[in-house]
Structure 1
Amino acid sequence: MTAKLEKSLGTLSLWGIAVGLVISGEYFGWSYGWGVSGTLGFLVTTVIVALMYTCFIFSFTELTTAIPHAGGPFAYSRRAYGETGGLIAGFATLIEFVFAPPAIALAIGAYLNVQYPQLDPKVAAVGAYLVFMVLNILGVKLAAMFELCVTVLAVGELLIFMGVVAPGFSMTNFVTNGWAGSDHFSFGTMSAIFAAIPFAIWFFLAIEGAAMAAEEAKDPKRTIPKAYLSGIITLVFLAFGVMIFAGGSGDWSKLSGINDPLPQAMKMVVGEHSNWLHMLVWIGLFGLIASFHGIILGYSRQFFALSRAGYLPKSLSKLSRFNTPYRATIAGGVIGIVAIYSDGIVELQGMGLTAAMITLAVFGAIVMYIMSMLSLFKLRKSEPNLQRTYRAPFYPVVPAIALGLAVLCLIAMIWFNREIAALFCVLMGIGYLYFTLTKQQRDDAEQDVLLAGK
């Protein structure tokens, strides 16, 4: 019998997953972009990326509602382009969702280190993995309820942050040396704008992961569009608000290479002994936890879907007595913990471990976005009668904008991150090698109607 997940998630829970998956991107990671392109340059980068994500989500929702499958992009691409298409999208998504959590776990460690300087951030990161893998294994309903609670707290904390630093905000602070370390726009600034793309994508990375909970959604054709569209509006507002208020709080250059920019920005305004600062550190952890917990849910479903379809060992699709893919959850956690201690990756592009992990995850995301939009166009032609209760608005313009900007982002990322691009290709190559050696495994897998399109 094919392993099936329980339908227990409503619109609010799905909104919590969609926003929660992403919201850590508002707390850390994006400020590395300031070190590359300056505040004004990065503002331009973020506008481009926000446009891409808005068009992408308005288009991607059509696929999610028409094919509500735990594999998300893997399912859409396989249905559109066959097994090889499924491989490309599935393994790219897996890279995104497996390598984003180590970066978030390290940020959790950095936030805790602010309060407890004696605590090793890596030890705290491993502890976070253990706690939230267990929570995910205990059941999706419990996991989604927790995700919603911490997401609401995290959104509220970002609004409080903006309110607390607002009295100290100065546009002069934000624009000083805002063009890649200069007060003037130049040709080099344009190059820096494109080089900062991975960190602008980090603002929104993984919102598509809610698609992996589609099999567990009640009435997905109605609940998913509401969750996705309200989610992208929430995230665009928070991304620009946090970035602008943090940049105007003081010397933004001091925030451009650290994992806890918001506490440090608040410290510039209220001082290091303010109760507001301590509140931000503690409640700010909820933002990191929301994404960390949500992405664990996402990668476990991707492992599960690929395993169930025969792309990975069958054992990874085994469900626990709580009806959760516990082996898939553990597998992603083991990879993430190893990555945390793989300091050799620091050598890539001269980046720190967190920035390198972010960039690697973004490569997976961009390839998956491209495959998803290509699948949307292909399925409109090959399956015109597919039930689509939601359709991408202004088709084909909106999905074409998403596809074009995703391709532009991929080209820019390869140009500026060649070593990490090579690592991404190696990981995809390993996936392809396994794919070529396991055809019988896929043939033996029970047919999935949503993948076959029959």
Structure 2
Amino acid sequence: MSEAATKTELKKSLSGWHLWGIAVGLVISGEYFGWSYGWASAGTLGFLVSTILVAVMYTTFIFSFTELTTAIPHAGGPFAYSYRAFGPFGGFVAGFATLIEFVFAPPAISLAIGAYLNVQFPALDPKTAAVGAYIVFMALNIAGVSIAATFELFVTLLAIFELLVFMGVVAPGFSWSHFTANGWAGTSSFTPAALGGIFAAIPFAIWFFLAIEGAAMAAEETKDPKKVIPRAYVGGILTLVVLAFGVMFFAGGVGDWSKLANMNDPLPQAMKMVVGESSGWLHMLVWIGLFGLIASFHGIIMGYSRQIFAMARAGFLPGFFAKLHPTRKTPHWAILAGGVVGIAAIYSDSFIQIGGQPLTANIVTMSVFGAILLYIVSMLSLFKLRRSEPKLVRPFLAPFYPAFPAIALLLALVFMGTMIYYNKIVFGLFLALFAVSLLFYFLSAKSRAAAASDDALLASAPDAA
């Protein structure tokens, strides 16, 4: 590898527990907020169907995606896999999708952090708190990956503990009749409208699991990634499936679930129905519940920064985003760049608050569009590399191949189609961002050619498209 490439190598300092913490922590805020918007579209029973479909997609996807992650442990994650499978244009598409997912998810999470803090401090503006969260956790990520990952593991464990406490505290108030009341898009029986609600709620079911694949972007900084990654991913997806269904059932069964739809803090509101507003349990949930939001917010900042770093290192983005901090060896410019976009999104109500949905719901939907495109391209890359590079060392093989990746790909395609149908305006914005990025892709041909060779990425890659 050239001297220039060596200067942009990331330090290997993460353990298996670190990576599990990142995988779960990236996602766990999805158990605290965002998903309840799906009840507004589908009702509790309809959304249960949406979540089952999404859980099947994510389980088959993660078992398949792990094959790529262990075979090509690279900071670019899906960008690297698609580059290797389909050349520069394939890498561009996957990189764009990942950036949309990981840059738009943090502002939604930061707004939820602001909403949780507003419960305790009504005079505190949620948006001001959201910006403050960006400043604090960008600084923590710049401080060092080992520090950041250890903090991520700590807050993830606290967040899991708090979700279990929530379920235990509200369990006495649970009633199946509450959960099923008007559970099909606001009616008591299944109708064609309920079917539409199931598909309209897909983005919010995806929010339960969104970004777990981001742990792949820490693979280049992981000790012995070929052994550690499969354990972290399998353990991570199983943890998240159990928590997602547990939270959904218990929150929906304690009272009138329709009052929790379209809220950024459904768990505290659900707990109020059982223990009242003055309970110490409620205040503990708000404070410790912040750790779930912080875990994902912090982890996704780590994820988007590595994606920006990897794309810049390969010449797809301006080269200064690939520069590492002189002492901390973290991609500080990449961390700051994603933060600027996220803070702009927080104050973009007039631009993103469209289609009659709250700002947070539309930011979530934009992020999910990126995620679904990423899943489609990743599964296509898996199939392509199986054919084009049969001798590639694969420490982990996707089980039940080709069934698992095919199921993940098919469901992702169905979800993409239904999301476009129900979110045409947001999809239009997604296409506009893609068009702008595509223009930069064509204009950056010289910088890609001049970029330092990245052997882990370019080995056996197709010729430039």
Which interval holds the TM-score relative to the shorter structure?
A: over 0.9
1:412 aligns with 2:418: yes
- The amino acid that maps onto 1:387 is V
2:463 is aligned to none
Say if 2:352 and 2:363, in contact at 8 Å, map to a contact too.
Answer: no
Look up the match of 1:58: 63
User: Which residue of the partner structure matches residue 432 of structure 1?
Assistant: 438
- After superposition, where does 1:348-427 map in structure 2 within 5 Å? 348-427=354-433
Do the aligned residues in 2 keep the contact of 1:345 with 1:356 (CA within 8 Å)?
no
- 1:192-341 equivalence runs, <5 A: 192-320=197-325, 321-341=327-347
Q: Distance in 1 between the 2:284 and 2:351 partners?
A: 33
Distance 1:287 1:356 in 2: 21
1:150 aligns with 2:192: no
- AA aligned to 1:425 is L
Return the alpha-carbon distance in structure 2 between the equivalents of residues 46 and 394 of structure 1: 23
Alpha-carbon offset, residue 346 of structure 1 = 4.3
Distance 2:237 2:60 in 1: 10
Distance 1:29 1:274 in 2: 24
Shift of 1:360: 0.1
1:443 is aligned to 2:445: no
> Aligned to 1:23, what secondary structure does the other structure show?
helix
Q: Between the two proteins, what is the percent identity of the paired residues?
A: 67
CA distance in 1, matches of 2:74, 2:437: 21
Q: Distance in 2 between matches of 1:255 and 1:448?
A: 49
The alpha carbon displacement at 1:188 in A equals 1.1
- 2:355 match: secondary structure: helix
Give the deviation of 1:187 after TM superposition.
Answer: 1.0
Name the amino acid aligned to 2:46. G
Q: d(CA) in 2 for partners of 1:438 and 1:90? A: 14
Work out whether residues 311 and 442 of structure 1, in 8 Å CA contact, stay in contact via their aligned partners in 2: yes
Contact 1:310/1:442 (8 A) holds in 2: yes
CA offsets, 1:47-103, max 9 Å, x none? 000000000000000000000000000000010001110000001100100000000
Does the 8 Å CA contact 2:353/2:362 hold for their aligned counterparts?
no
Q: Could you report, residue by residue, the CA deviation over 1:282-317 in whole angstroms, capped at 9, with x for unpaired residues?
A: 000000000000000000000000000000000001
TM-fit CA distance, 1:146: 0.2
- Correspondences of 1:102-141 after superposition (within 5 Å): 102-141=107-146
Residues 67-106 of structure 1 correspond to what in structure 2 (within 5 A)? 67-106=72-111
Q: Select the residue among 156, 165, 174 that pairs with 1:160.
A: 165
Counterpart-to-counterpart distance in 1, 2:89 and 2:357: 33
Cα separation, 1, equivalents of 2:188 and 2:453: 60
The superposition leaves residues 168-195 of structure 1 with CA deviations (integer Å, 9 ceiling, x where unpaired) of 0000100000000000001111111000
Alpha-carbon distance in 2 for matches of 1:410, 1:350 = 21
2 CA distance for matches of 1:345 and 1:13?
37
2:25 aligned partner:
20
Letter in 1 for 2:312: S
Contact 2:69 2:216 in 1 (8 A): yes
2: CA distance between counterparts of 1:348 and 1:177?
27
Task: Please tell me whether the aligned partners of residues 79 and 452 of structure 1 are also in contact (alpha carbons under 8 angstroms).
Answer: yes
The 1-side partners of 2:59 and 2:434 are apart by 27
RMSD over aligned Cα atoms:
0.6
Amino acid in structure 2 at the alignment position of 1:212: M
Aligned-partner residue type, residue 127 of structure 1: G
1:345 deviation in Å? Answer: 2.9
In the alignment, which residue of structure 2 is the partner of 1:344?
350
Contact 1:50 1:236 in 2 (8 A): yes
In structure 2, what is the Cα distance between the partners aligned to 1:65 and 1:201?
A: 24
1:156 CA displacement: 0.4
Q: Distance in 1 between matches of 2:455 and 2:407?
A: 31
Q: Distance in 2 between matches of 1:61 and 1:344?
A: 40
C-alpha separation in 2, matches of 1:249 and 1:306: 47
The equivalent of 1:179 in structure 2 is 184
Cα separation, 1, equivalents of 2:331 and 2:76: 13
Secondary structure at the residue paired with 1:178?
Answer: coil
- What's the secondary structure of 1:348's corresponding residue? coil
Which letter does structure 1 place at the counterpart of 2:359? L
8 Å CA contact 1:73, 1:372 repeated in 2: yes
Corresponding letter in the other structure for 2:290: L
> 1:450: Cα distance to partner?
1.9
Q: Distance in 2 between matches of 1:344 and 1:331?
A: 22
2:45 pairs with 1:40: yes
Which 4+ residue blocks in structure 1 deviate beyond 4 angstroms?
Answer: none
Question: Is the Cα contact below 8 Å between 1:65 and 1:220 reproduced in 2?
Answer: yes
Structure-1-length-normalised TM-score: 0.99
Shift of 1:453: 2.1
For 1:249, give the aligned amino acid. V
- Measured after TM superposition, the shift of residue 275 of structure 1 is 0.4
Name the aligned partner's letter for residue 177 of structure 2. T
Matching residue's letter, 1:384: P
Alpha-carbon separation, structure 1, partners of 2:434 and 2:329: 30
Deviation (angstroms), 1:349: 1.6
Q: Which amino acid aligns with 2:280?
A: N
